[in-house]
A and B are shown apart, each in its own frame.
Chain A
Amino acid sequence: EAGVTQSPTHLIKTRGQQATLRCSPISGHTSVYWYQQALGLGLQFLLWYDEGEERNRGNFPPRFSGRQFPNYSSELNVNALELEDSALYLCASSLDYPDTQYFGPGTRLTVL
Chain B
Amino acid sequence: QQQVKQSPQSLIVQKGGISIINCAYENTAFDYFPWYQQFPGKGPALLIAIRPDVSEKKEGRFTISFNKSAKQFSLHIMDSQPGDSATYFCAARMEYGNKLVFGAGTILRVKS
A residues with a Cβ closer than 8 A to B are 4, 31, 33, 35, 42-45, 48, 55-56, 58, 90, 97-98, 100-106
Contact = CB atoms under 8 A, between A and B. Distances in A.
Interface residue range, chain B: 20 to 34
Contacts of A58: 99
Interface of B: 31-32, 34, 36, 41-46, 49, 89, 91, 93, 97-105
B100 A45 contact: yes
Contacts of B43: 4, 90, 103-106
Main secondary structure on A side of the interface with B: strand
Contact of B97 (A31, A48, A101): A48
11 contacts: A31-B98, A33-B100, A42-B103, A42-B104, A42-B105, A45-B99, A90-B44, A101-B34, A103-B45, A105-B42, A106-B42
B7 to A, nearest CB: 14
Given A42-B102, A42-B105, A90-B44, A56 B32 contact: no
Contacts of A97: 98
Given A42-B102, A43-B102, A45-B101, A100 B49 contact: yes
Contacts of A55: 97-98
Contacts of A98: 31-32, 93, 98
A33 B103 CA distance: 18
A100 B102 CA distance: 14
A58 B97 CA distance: 10
Contact of A48 (B31, B42, B99): B99
Given A44-B102, A55-B98, 5 more contacts: A42-B103, A43-B44, A48-B99, A100-B46, A103-B36
